[in-house]
Structure 1
Amino acid sequence: MLRTTFSALAIAVSGAVVADEVNTNNDTALDMERIVVSGSRVFESIDEVPASITIITQQQIQDHLKVNPELQSLLSQIVPGLAPDTGSSSNSGQSLRGRAPLVMIDGVPQSTPLRNGSLGVKTLDPSAIARIEVIKGATSIYGNGASGGIINYITKQADTDGQLDGEISLSSRFSAVKLEESAGARVSAAVNGRTGDFSYLVTASYEENGVQRDAEGDILGLQYGLSDSVTENYFTKLGYDFDEEKRLQFSYNFYSSQQKTDLGDVVGDMQKGEKTYAVHVPPALQKQGKPQGPDGNENITVKYTDLEIFNNTQLTLDAYMQDIENVFFFSTSLANPEDGYSGGQSIIRSEKKGARATFNTVADFDQVQATFIYGIDALRDITSQPLVDGRMWVPEMDMKSVAGYLQTKWLVADDLVLKAGVRKESIDLAVDDYRTLKLCRSGQQCTTPFEVKGDTIDYDATTYNVGVKYNANELFSPFFSYSQGSDISDVGRLLRSATVSDIGLIQTEASIIDNYEVGFNSQLDDVRFEFAAYRSTSELGTTNTFNSKTGIYEPVRAPQKIWGYEALVDYKINAELNLVATYSFVEGKNTKDNSYLGSRQISPAKFTANLNWQPSDALSMSLSYLYVGNRKRFDIGENGRYSVDQGPITNYNIFNFSGKYQFAPNWQGFVGIENLFNADYFTARAQSYTYGGYNVKGLGTTVTMGVTYDF
């Protein structure tokens, strides 16, 4: 592991300094909202992008961090089209427009699409992030795994002219319903500076959670839980400017978040309205195996930029390495009594090595400015899912990918934006011979193991995108886009559930997603309105069905269509008060049998509102509201139970509050209250999932209090 060397470097550079966040630039929120990089891999005005984009600014990140440090919660509150927060460490069921998003840090993929464990959102501490860019809808601009779009964490940069600069933040989070054992502690810090042509930024954070309690004061269930979790993140970014045009940058990220607890679950039944909650139990009844969660995930990136490699052309070269090890909970569903296993605990391991070359050429013609973005991507991704006890559940998948692409943008008379692009990708996925596991949910429910002949599967896909946006009148700026994505995500789920003896007979074909979107933006004095409607179709999807004979959830591949719409209103009421409200609706079906998709993909309607009040430079307050609607599409089965992810969802309402006060030149105090009115509710995922242990209630009223020191 690379942890020892580089975490030591992070600590050495930062000393004992720990900070919450660094102001990486002086851009206003409006400026930030007009810049996006991940959609086309270069900086461009957001008004020139014919697609729905959400930019989460550093100020929004700061405000939400005072309420909840989890990025899932932040994204759910601000991004229309993203499913509600799960209230846990797993983002399973938190889809983007009904499909899985690709999570990235500065353009480097963090998700593990070959075996999607739904932990990709939790890869970086918010204190290291300058802003978050969310590009919605299928895209192939970054390759495999982006069937729902892109969530790109843009990390901070050094912003000082030479002197050392930084912050230290200390805070505690605790239950206001029942304080006992709930108090946790968080310390975070950042330092940055510049010496001549050399710049540096180091952030570090460490957090220990106490137990998390629901509205009745009971400890939340432990499956993917955050009670007694220990989270640490060390991020380093070093840069050297050869001259005004050439720059070399190195960044390293280490992230770990594991639950280390002596509690045990009391398992309830969602269909009877019973929650799963945790209590103190003897060691024999405590959670078995290794602590669940990311066990020291690491990223290294080296990036070289030349703003004028040749006439009117910018070059960006980057290479990256990644080592991921996500540990899951102990499950009796992984039992094999015949060989002495009462259960098992799986690990998703993924090692990525990639390199990319991106060129950006600008040409001016009469009344037309043309931009050409082109390059080559290469990636090797080796992913597997073994069990802690040594058994192999998903064999090692060795994916090699090479892709070339061209993206063009034509700005005509400053008002009409035309975009068109193509990506040609070749993927080889090699799997050696393997044997599927014998797994027993009970003595009468066991899978039949198979010897499966390995092979190398070749995928060749050419995907296209076109878009148009017209900006002549700010009262009505319409856009239309069509984009394709090529997706071979979660092949591991297919391999581990194989029922045939040859990998060539397993339905592992790539899914081509066609995404259509139409919308508009309007600006009227102090009100901005955004609306988008979309539809995406795919020849193949991956849903689940329960095999009552084996007790295993097996993949079902069937054509799908997903559709929906989103709206946003941003109203600057006066100089002190601002309101942002969003509404999103999504629905989807398997078109083969005209049946609705379950909640692993489709979330209920969502309404959010964020009211921000800043009566003075020293004082600001925010009140946020989340409404999650009903979704009751499925009938109960003949056995009297709902299937897989088809439980009925009943609406709920959540209010949060945060505030900060600058009480001295370098000192700031802050407070945040999550679930202000102590709503007693099950999250949308908890209501709909019939898998055991997911029926955990939402967090009761929880308070965060802290102080920040600037230097």
Structure 2
Amino acid sequence: MSVKKGMFQLTTVAAAVAATTFVSSVAFAQEYKTTEEKMVVVSSRAPKAISDIPGTVWYIDNAQIEQEYRGGKSLGEILAAAVPSLDVSSQGRTNYGQNLRGRPMLVMIDGVSLNSSRLISRQLDSIDPFNIDRIEILSGATAIYGAGATGGVINIVTKKAESDELQFESYVSTSSGFNSSDDFDYKLAQSVSGGNNLVKGRASVVYGETQGFYDANGDIVVPDITQGSVQFNEVIDVLGTLSITPTDTQTVNLLAQYYSSEQDSPYGIYFGQDLAGVNKNITGNPGDKSLIDVREGFESDRQGSTERLMLNVDYSNTDFLSHELLVQASYRNETLSFIPFIYSTYLAASEQETDVISLRAAMIKSLDNLTLTYGIDGYIDRLDSNQMLFDRQTSYNSGGLVNRKASMIGRYPGTEVSSIAGFIQADYAITEDWTVEGGYRFQYMNNKVDDFVASGTQVAIAHGNGTSADAVPGGETDYDIGLFNLGTIYHLTQNDQVWANFSQGFDLSDPAKYYGVGTYNGPDANGHYNLTGSINVDDSTLAGIKTNSYEIGYRHDGSDLSIQTAVYYSQSDKEVSANKKTLNIEISDNKTRVYGWEGQAAYWLSNAWQAGVNGHLVKTEVQNSDGGWDKQSINYASASKAGAWLAWFEDSYALKLQSQTLFNLDDEAGNEINGYTVFDLVGNYQLPVGSLGFGIQNLLDREYSTVWGQRAAGWYSSYGPAEVFDYKGRGRTYTVNYQVKF
């Protein structure tokens, strides 16, 4: 059987996406051989065939994940290459600004949300690709999941036991740009799975270490002091899944994951003696940028890390009161730490802890041409945070390289966001080829905010400028949200579908960064700060943002050509921005609209050669006071992008050359993000036992600043010159690995 023939048995969109995958041998290609429709849960919570979904759905299967991963790509980079409307990766710990269709995305693992009320963008720093079976992506706002999904939904599905037999998978990998002895990464992974007719399970451990990242000039990349980098980083991913089938109609799936990604870098930014290299330093004079340098000798009592414990149980019963019943309960605890950031006259690093408990239940009833899905879901999301202040004299003497704990203060007010929602979704087949679907979700949310002394005032007290302060009063706010969706899909032929869809999404923007802000007089003679003004939580509700999203799309799966494409338009009733000095969020009544096109096409030139292209054209605008539309700031707007690949297959090996282009982006203020193009070469070779994977990232050794590096320079301009935030892309990097399954 040829690789081409095996791939052609994929269905519609799955074929279009999987066409970007290449396989290294006929045996490996057998993974694709199936006559079954690809089923996903990302569009409606219940399993549904992709070709029946009136929306843009991307499906990244295990073979594609494995090949890109073994070629040296991170999870964020894998997604950016496979999903046209997903922005390029930051190459750091954060996925801030990596939007879907220009708006925030909801990321899940096995249906468990990784989003939180505190909008820290680390959802892709959550699982090693070794443990991922497939990824389902729904582009565009959705009413199904409630808050946080105005750009779309990414559902990461973990690997499970595939058979009763005992199976092992071993993996070892290394990467380097050969710039110095610090330029060396490695990873080890091992899994075991098996079971019987009643119980099947899989357990795995992944351990990896990165060292220094070097740009195309051979210089070490500036450490990301804003959101944290993954240089000199240690990753541990321990994952266990268990499937229990007590009867023919009932299944219980259990998941437990511990994930740790922790930095311990010997390199830091040297700001000059007494921090003289930054603006508004302790002398009150402009800083001397020539003093800023990346040096060894960095030490800190707190460095960047992500630590997460997640537990999940899914129960399904296909014969419950003449319905199919789906129930999911989950718990997630995560602690997110940051490295020292410079606040002009001192350095500090925050840490934020989130606990989330959630419960979802759905019932599915099929009645001839009508299918009803209805149910409830709810969660409680609790945030606590702190900030470690470092001894100023130690930081001054070392130019910011050595940071020792001096005191601990609160960073944001404690918040608790709770939600309960009911939903109903109906699918009706008008004919065999034409289906309509629609639904409604009603969600009630309650937001509790604790009393809190403004963090700036806490800093002043910790530095000896006062003894006490009034607290900014907390309070409660409530929200009632109704979300509606309506779509239709028509099968032109067995291989062609067209659809139109309308859906509403909702966001509640970061209560912790909105409340807890106050103005003070003082200190008085007793060293006390008196509160003179603040936001009253009870009377000043943080506005929720509703987004209306429209799209029209088409997909085709032919013998040689696979296509999926859509045009879309979305508009929200509010604009979210951030104060560059305080970093607190601000919300205005300015409408925001995003519109564009996304698409992908793959074509088999022969049985051995395949070519493909994908792209996303996007524009984001904000309504001005005159009723016209201005370009949104580059701090928030997404840039257009394009990709292309050429793949070659033989019996025991394969090669794929691929490119990714980021286009230039500017805004009304004249700020710019400079685009770039990078090429990668990935491949594998089938050995008598196991397989050898390899890759060259940034093949042409292109020098460029990452999107996040360019954005951060604008975001944090009040705290230092652009040189502090110029996070370059990694230069040419070689990866080689060995994998064996037995």
The answer to whether the superposition gives a TM-score over 0.5 is yes
Alignment of 1:331 with 2:341, yes or no, is yes
Among 566, 570, 575, the residue aligned to 2:607: 575
CA distance in 2 between counterparts of 1:30 and 1:568 reads 23
Among 415, 426, 437, the residue aligned to 2:433: 415
Shift of 1:608: 0.9
Unmatched segments (≥5 aa) in structure 2: 1-26, 272-276, 280-288, 389-406, 520-533
Residue in structure 2 matched with residue 695 of structure 1 by the alignment? 726
Residue in structure 2 matched with residue 293 of structure 1 by the alignment? 305
**Map 1:627-642 → 2, pairs under 5 A:** 627-636=661-670
Q: Give the 3 Å change call, closer, same or farther, for CA 46–475 of structure 1 in structure 2.
A: closer
Alignment of 1:656 with 2:658, yes or no, is no
Greater alpha carbon shift after TM alignment, 500-509 vs 57-66: 500-509
**Map 1:73-152 → 2, pairs under 5 A:** 73-112=77-116, 114-152=117-155
Residue in structure 2 matched with residue 377 of structure 1 by the alignment? 377
Amino acid at match of 1:385: S
CA contact (8 A) 2:708 2:727 kept: no
Q: What is the TM-score normalised by the length of structure 1?
A: 0.86
Alignment of 1:68 with 2:72, yes or no, is yes
CA distance in 1 between counterparts of 2:295 and 2:347 reads 22
Amino acid at match of 2:730: L
Q: What is the TM-score normalised by the length of structure 2?
A: 0.83
Amino acid at match of 1:214: D
Q: Give the 3 Å change call, closer, same or farther, for CA 450–612 of structure 1 in structure 2.
A: farther
Shift of 1:277: 9.2
Amino acid at match of 2:709: A
Shift of 1:281: 3.0
Shift of 1:381: 0.8
Residue in structure 2 matched with residue 7 of structure 1 by the alignment? none
CA contact (8 A) 1:32 1:57 kept: no
CA distance in 1 between counterparts of 2:488 and 2:548 reads 17
Amino acid at match of 2:256: Y
**Map 1:550-629 → 2, pairs under 5 A:** 552=583, 554-557=585-588, 558-593=590-625, 594-616=629-651, 618-629=652-663
Shift of 1:542: 1.2
Shift of 1:310: 2.9
Shift of 1:477: 2.5
Alignment of 1:281 with 2:296, yes or no, is yes
CA contact (8 A) 1:599 1:685 kept: no
CA contact (8 A) 1:573 1:579 kept: yes
Unmatched segments (≥5 aa) in structure 1: 1-22, 637-646
**Map 1:533-552 → 2, pairs under 5 A:** 533-547=567-581, 552=583
**Map 1:455-494 → 2, pairs under 5 A:** 455-473=475-493, 477-494=497-514
Shift of 1:255: 0.7
Q: Secondary structure at the match of 1:64?
A: helix
Residue in structure 2 matched with residue 13 of structure 1 by the alignment? none
Alignment of 1:686 with 2:713, yes or no, is no
CA contact (8 A) 1:306 1:314 kept: yes
Residue in structure 1 matched with residue 5 of structure 2 by the alignment? none
Q: Give the 3 Å change call, closer, same or farther, for CA 607–390 of structure 1 in structure 2.
A: same
Alpha-carbon RMSD: 2.8
CA distance in 2 between counterparts of 1:498 and 1:203 reads 48
Amino acid at match of 1:466: L
CA contact (8 A) 1:677 1:701 kept: yes
Q: Give the 3 Å change call, closer, same or farther, for CA 276–697 of structure 1 in structure 2.
A: farther
Shift of 1:559: 2.3
Amino acid at match of 1:706: N
Q: Secondary structure at the match of 1:393?
A: coil
CA distance in 2 between counterparts of 1:588 and 1:449 reads 42
Cα deviation code 1:22-58 (max 9, x no counterpart)? x999752887983221110111111111111111111
Cα deviation code 1:607-663 (max 9, x no counterpart)? 0123332211x2122222101111122435xxxxxxxxxx31222111111111111
Residue in structure 2 matched with residue 304 of structure 1 by the alignment? 315
Among 174, 197, 210, the residue aligned to 2:176: 174
Shift of 1:151: 1.0
CA distance in 1 between counterparts of 2:711 and 2:579 reads 14
Q: Secondary structure at the match of 1:653?
A: strand
Among 562, 566, 583, the residue aligned to 1:528: 562
Aligned-residue sequence identity (percent) comes to 24
Q: Give the 3 Å change call, closer, same or farther, for CA 425–553 of structure 1 in structure 2.
A: closer
Q: Give the 3 Å change call, closer, same or farther, for CA 419–117 of structure 1 in structure 2.
A: same
**Which structure has the larger Rg?**
2
Shift of 1:591: 1.1
Shift of 1:116: 0.6
Q: Give the 3 Å change call, closer, same or farther, for CA 658–243 of structure 1 in structure 2.
A: same
CA distance in 2 between counterparts of 1:655 and 1:707 reads 23
Shift of 1:450: 7.2
Cα deviation code 1:367-414 (max 9, x no counterpart)? xx2211111102111123322343122111111211111111112322
Q: Secondary structure at the match of 1:704?
A: strand
Greater alpha carbon shift after TM alignment, 209-218 vs 381-390: 381-390
Amino acid at match of 1:398: E
CA distance in 2 between counterparts of 1:25 and 1:676 reads 27
CA contact (8 A) 2:364 2:373 kept: yes
Amino acid at match of 1:181: D
CA contact (8 A) 2:428 2:435 kept: yes
Residue in structure 2 matched with residue 245 of structure 1 by the alignment? 249
Cα deviation code 1:501-552 (max 9, x no counterpart)? 41135451211111111122234441122221111111123112435xxx65
CA distance in 2 between counterparts of 1:608 and 1:33 reads 27
Residue in structure 2 matched with residue 215 of structure 1 by the alignment? 216
CA contact (8 A) 2:71 2:736 kept: no
CA contact (8 A) 1:222 1:264 kept: yes
Q: Give the 3 Å change call, closer, same or farther, for CA 554–199 of structure 1 in structure 2.
A: closer
CA contact (8 A) 1:95 1:600 kept: no
CA contact (8 A) 1:219 1:278 kept: no
* Number of positions where the alignment pairs a residue of Structure 1 with one of Structure 2: 651
